[in-house]
A and B are shown apart, each in its own frame.
Chain A
Amino acid sequence: MKALEFIDGWIFKAYGPCARSLPLFRIFFALYLLVFYLPRYPWVAEMPDSFFHPPVSLAMFFTALPPWWFFYLLDFLLKVGALCLLFGRQTRFISFAMCIGLIIGNSFRYSIGPKIDHDIFIPATLFCLGFSGWGNSLSQDEQHLSQSERRSSSSWPITLLMLMVSVCMLTAAIPKATSGWLSPHVYACRGQIISNYLQNFRPMPLADWLFRIHSFLFWKLADWSTLAIEGGFIFCVISLPSMRFIATMAVFFHAFVYFSMDIFFSINLAVYASLLDFRMGLRKSWIRHSLRRFRLLAHRVRLFHIVLLAIALLGFSYALYFSDVDASRLPNNLFIIAAVVIALVSLLHFLGALTDRLVFGIAFPLRADHSLVILYDGECGLCDKWVQFVLNYDHRGIFRFTPLQSFRGKELLRQAGSTESDLSSMILLIDNRTYLRSTAVLMILRQLGGFWALLGIFALVPVALRDFAYSMVATNRHRWFPRTGDSCRLLRPYERERFLS
């Protein structure tokens, strides 16, 4: 019974936080399909029937490729579908219809030659999230829903999608493990890059640089980390934080593959994006404003507009497709760079959480009911600047300040049981617990949030090293940052209240 409860908890709750931003993910996913994924089939229409050798698939039931117009029609319908998905029109029906359309089209696409491009994630995403209610908000469908229905969505489809992703990744890891990737005598990554480099004709910016590396450690690390990432998915699927971590690592891996072998795993990146909390973007007023306008647009758009837009987009895509211009390079580069930046920020957040757990023993940001007091040297110019900096960026107004020399400062220290009397040490009191020097500074940064919180990961540096750097600055603070008459700005009334003496 407990096992069933555990499984239910995983299926229905583990990916709960992602469900809240599914409507935003739907918009991102539809845009991805429109810009990067479609059209899929114009070249298939050109192929002679002698090339038609389907694998075990729907295409196997055909004796020849369908006529050319079938592929053009399919591309058009998929464009219409992607636009309907974007505006949230009949979202559930469209999700399943696109899933079926792509499986039919891809069955023919992969009947040309023995290569199957592993894009199963796209139909899988459409199938799973079709159940999720991702069209219940920011959509045309929301007009027919009550206020509570608009805020409803299920997280189990994300769990199912992530299980599918993990199983797929496992099918890539197992053949590698059994074909020499683990052996210390085989440089598998290097061989794969050479093979790709010699067979293909595209620029591979990292490849030439990589070929100059002959380090055993580097290449085996590349082999083993590839296996660890691909095989790690199946273990990490158990929880959202672990899945986010492995997906972050996979983004770096896919970026490495893109720049060294020019294999663009954008589909994987698009699917990992379902793990992101898109609502973080809503903190920006211009994004909220844009979404309000998008909602109005989605309410007004009609099928006639979507069909016209699909024709225009398909015409533009085909014109690029059949020209000699390789228009994919710039958007591909931008997409992968954006993914790497998001992954970096995500990684820093992981490190931040790890720092909170291992070094500070507190989870930041703290709630407003905690008492946070910064004690500082009231006669130091650097300390004044630091206090002003904290005042500027502590948007929730959670910190209080008092100079170490003040009666209140000494009283607080006594109450906290601290015997610290060194004026060069910044002290942070959190609910009567005392934190000193670099630890205090880094904890304050963690509490400030945003970019400053990311700097808190320096707490992973051993405390002796951190405090050595801190005392270097503290010793010379009067010389490097002399106190001037105008170093203190005029405090506003609500700021003045935050000083305890």
Chain B
Amino acid sequence: MARPIDSTISDEPNRIAIRLLFVGFLLCALVLVVVRECFGEPYPGPFMPAFKGTGLQMESPTEASIILPKMIITFSDQTTAEISQPSLFGYATDSIHRSILFMIVPDPQVEAEEGIKQKFRTWLSKVFPTYRVSKTLASVTVQDDVRKYLHQRLTKLYPSKTPVSLTIYLYKNTFPLADFHKMTSQFISQSTISFHEGA
């Protein structure tokens, strides 16, 4: 389809097909916007990150809050150590770290969607069982493969110790928008993942 750079437009042998490709892209983009509204963001799709609003949970016009975790490992010798998300979840990007965390424990700031959107999603999940039916992805109980994954990660990070459990504390941190250093923390929840055999 390549042609000499200085040739005229009429030299282009596939003019109509190319015009249709442009129209096709615009139609596809429209369809994918509808898909996003009904079933969540598809991949691939012509989308860039929205960064809606302030990215914070607004408590009042001047105050915001954010959920931050604190993760404590307990070893077999009863010693403990605090671990950060990047250390625990390793090589993935920061945005994925937070995603992984909230697949282990539920994110209290994400509300389950209701209404017509959720009906569409539930319908699709009947056809495709693994489809991301909801924004809340954490299971009620921690699955064995997740337990195994966390245990492997911790064993790799602390080769000389035996991790027996990982406790994830979630805190709601509220702060004035003018100065987020003046933060007050409120305990929200605690989840302990035990690595004992049969746990």
Contacts and interface: CB of A to CB of B under 8 A. Distances in A.
Contacts of B43: 55-57, 103, 106-107, 110, 116, 120
A52 B44 contact: no
A200 B137 CA distance: 21
Interface stretch (A171-179, A357-365, A448-456, A490-498): A171-179
Contacts of B46: 120, 164, 167-168, 171
A51 interface: yes
B180 to A, nearest CB: 5
The interface centre, meaning the residue of B40, B61, B91, B139 with most chain A CB atoms within 10 A of its CB, is B91
B60 interface: no
B147 to A, nearest CB: 9
The interface centre, meaning the residue of A60, A112, A322 with most chain B CB atoms within 10 A of its CB, is A60
Interface string B130-153: 111101010100010110110000
Nearest to A7: B19
B156 to A, nearest CB: 10
- The secondary-structure label for the interface of chain A is helix
Interface string A174-202: 01100111000111101110111111111
Interface stretch (A153-161, A402-410, A480-488): A153-161
Contacts of A148: 4
- The secondary-structure label for the interface of chain B is loop
A133 B68 contact: no
A20 B143 CA distance: 56
Interface stretch (B82-90, B111-119, B191-199): B82-90
Contacts of B90: 43, 46
B22 A163 contact: yes
B126 to A, nearest CB: 13
A171 B47 contact: yes
Interface in A187-225: 187-188, 190-192, 194-202, 211, 214
Contacts of B94: 199-202
A270 B86 CA distance: 27
Given A8-B15, A191-B55, A51 B100 contact: yes
Given A8-B9, A151-B4, A163-B22, A171 B50 contact: yes
B143 A12 contact: no
A452 B3 CA distance: 37
Contacts of A112: 92, 96, 99-100, 103
B3 A154 contact: yes
Nearest to B55: A195
A465 B135 CA distance: 61
A198 B18 CA distance: 47
A476 interface: no
Contacts of A200: 94
B118 to A, nearest CB: 15
Interface residues of A, number: 90
A117 interface: yes
Given A46-B149, A175-B52, A120 B5 contact: no
Contact of B139 (A50, A60, A136, A156): A50
A101 interface: no
The interface centre, meaning the residue of B2, B26, B66, B128 with most chain A CB atoms within 10 A of its CB, is B2
A160 B21 contact: yes
A321 B26 CA distance: 38
Nearest to B42: A56
A13 interface: yes
Contacts of B39: 55-56
B108 interface: no
Nearest to B40: A55
Nearest to A106: B43
A154 B51 contact: no
B41 A198 contact: no
Contacts of B42: 55-57
A211 B145 CA distance: 42
Interface stretch (A24-32, A61-69, A296-304, A421-429): A61-69
B78 interface: no
B44 A13 contact: no
A321 B124 CA distance: 37
Given A152-B5, A154-B2, A54 B130 contact: yes
Given A106-B43, A214-B178, 8 more contacts: A43-B91, A50-B145, A56-B35, A154-B1, A163-B25, A196-B55, A202-B94, A322-B91
Interface of B: 1-5, 9, 12, 15, 18-19, 21-22, 25-26, 29, 33, 35, 39-56, 61, 64, 66, 68, 84-86, 90-96, 98-100, 102-103, 124, 128-133, 135, 137, 139, 143, 145-146, 148-149, 173, 177-178, 180
5 tightest A-B contacts by CB?
A: A113-B99, A191-B54, A133-B2, A48-B145, A195-B55
Interface of A: 7-9, 11-13, 16, 19-20, 42-43, 46-57, 59-64, 103, 106-107, 110-118, 120, 123, 131-133, 136, 148-149, 151-156, 159-160, 163-164, 167-169, 171-172, 175-176, 179-181, 185-188, 190-192, 194-202, 211, 214, 230, 321-322
